[in-house]
Amino acid sequence: MPHFLEETRAIREDGTWRIDPQPAALRDRRVDIGDVSPANQDFLLRAMNSGAQGVQVDFDDGHCPTWSNTIQGHFNLLQAARGLLEVSGETTVANPALLIVRPRAWNMDEPHMVVNGRVVPGALFDFGMHLFHNGRGPFLYLPKLEGYKEAALWRRIFEFTEKKLEFAHGSIKATVLIENIFAAFEMDEILFELRHHSSGLNCGMWDYTASIVVNFRHRPEFLLPDRQQYYMDLLISTCKRRNAPATTGMVPFVLSELPSGLSQAEAIDKTRSGKSMEALAGSDGALVYDLALVTPVAEVFTTPRERTGKTRSSSVAFDEKMFTEKLLTLPRGHVTLRSVEMNVRVALLYVLHWLHGQGTVVVNGCVEDSATAEISRAQLWQWVYHRVPITGTSQQVNAS
């Protein structure tokens, strides 16, 4: 079971250490555009020109890693880093959003590159291509870390790269996406390992939820997790203790494709309401997919120099027993026929679009990527395995 590690207790209980100060380019983290596949040149350019603070150049969840897409993506990234992107006469604005590259996770290989007879991990291919060819910043999102030992591996990779490419020590900065239930118990340790290279932590809500379903799929008490507040509060309070930026999840709405029962004004109001709660908790910013949401979300988050007073998470005492109980005690939720149908629809439509080389698909007014598709797949498997009753019917979820 996930737990706070005894062997690293000294790191957690030492209140004196902090991560290194942020460079000027990373001090305002109000809005990043998420799920931007670099293979989509038009979306990449519009995201850079959107007025957001950053663009998550995503080789992971929002990208379909065909060889054609991946090479085109790295070429587009090279052009973007030099201000040379041009689509239908539109070019990069004078002060574009910061490029923050999200390499693939360690579970994905790049079969088109072999070194000493071994296929190169996709994470190293994407990282190496970006650092060697661009070297700006360089700033990263690190996905799907399962614990502090992976952070230590990335630290060694960063130090090796800085030495080889003659970058100043600590110039590589990375935001770690806390997307795994085990990593949620090792956030202090992750920040400590990357303290010279850290640009904070982000709540990777969808992968985090999927990790609970996948890791505990055989256990009926872990059906339908819904403890997001405690996970977010722990992340933010950890970051505040270590002077690290804390950012929260992506708004999935696509305003031009909302279902008939939801207006654009209502979607924007829901976005403002949700992000206001996160700002109150102490979040420094969030991600959006729809560029029309940049301004509404930016208005919610004040810049760090404007923020005053205590946030909810900064006043939450760190209590290992309480957080362990809250993170692992999940309610027995209800499964509706609509939720079953929606999960089937998301999973099938995502696979269909992925087979056509697209890393995202819009379903019911929200963008879906490999993380949300994995939740749909994993929940369906779990519901079938446990033959979960469907609310309001005499039926159970089964394979037929």
Q: Which of 305, 328, 351 is the last residue of a domain?
A: 328
Which residues are the active-site residues?
102, 369
Asked whether the beta carbons of 284 and 244 are under 8 A apart, the reply is no
Q: Which of 328, 345, 375 is the last residue of a domain?
A: 328
Do residues 138 and 257 both lie within one domain? yes
Q: If you write DSSP's letter for every residue of 202-264 in order, what string do you get?
A: EE-HHHHHHHHHHHTTT-GGGSS---HHHHHHHHHHHHHHTT--EEEEEE-B-GGG--TT--H
How many CA atoms are closer than 13 Å to the CA of 15, on its beta-carbon side?
A: 4
Do residues 310 and 360 both lie within one domain? no
Three-class secondary structure of residue 176 per DSSP: strand
For the chain, residues with pLDDT lower than 50 are 225-227, 305-310, 315
Do residues 319 and 349 both lie within one domain? no
User: Where residue 377 sits, what CATH number does that domain have?
Assistant: 1.20.1220.12
Do residues 137 and 203 both lie within one domain? yes
Asked whether the beta carbons of 131 and 138 are under 8 A apart, the reply is yes
On whether residue 396 sits in a domain, the answer given is no
On whether residue 362 sits in a domain, the answer given is yes
Do residues 40 and 76 both lie within one domain? yes
Do residues 48 and 86 both lie within one domain? yes
User: Where residue 31 sits, what CATH number does that domain have?
Assistant: 3.20.20.360
Q: Which residue has the tokens 């999927």?
A: 210
Residue 346 structural domain: 337-386
Q: What is residue 316's predicted lDDT score, i.e. its pLDDT? A: 52
Do residues 118 and 35 both lie within one domain? yes
Do residues 316 and 353 both lie within one domain? no
Do residues 347 and 320 both lie within one domain? no
- pTM of the entire structure? 0.91
For 138-165, write each residue's pLDDT tens digit. 999 999 999 999 999 999 999 999 999 9
The span from the CA of 72 to the CA of 90, in Å, is 19
Q: Which of 328, 346, 363 is the last residue of a domain?
A: 328
Do residues 316 and 350 both lie within one domain? no
On whether residue 399 sits in a domain, the answer given is no
Q: What is residue 304's predicted lDDT score, i.e. its pLDDT? A: 53
For 162-213, write each residue's pLDDT tens digit. 999 999 999 999 999 999 889 999 999 999 999 999 999 999 776 676 677 6
For 346-385, write each residue's pLDDT tens digit. 999 999 999 999 999 999 999 999 988 988 898 898 889 8
On whether residue 373 sits in a domain, the answer given is yes
Tell me which H or E stretch contains 77: helix 67-81
Token representation of residue 91: 């070019």
On whether residue 1 sits in a domain, the answer given is no
How many structural domains does the chain have?
A: 2
Do residues 347 and 214 both lie within one domain? no
Q: If you write DSSP's letter for every residue of 313-365 in order, what string do you get?
A: GGGS---HHHHHHHHH------B-HHHHHHHHHHHHHHHHHHHTT-S-EEETT
Among residues 359, 368, 350, the alpha carbon closest in space to that of 250 is found at 368
Do residues 29 and 170 both lie within one domain? yes
On whether residue 392 sits in a domain, the answer given is no
On whether residue 398 sits in a domain, the answer given is no
Q: At residue 249, what are phi and psi to the nearest 5 degrees? A: -70, 175
How is the chain split among helix, strand and coil, in percent rounded to 5?
45, 15, 40
Among residues 373, 376, 375, the alpha carbon closest in space to that of 354 is found at 373
On whether residue 117 sits in a domain, the answer given is yes
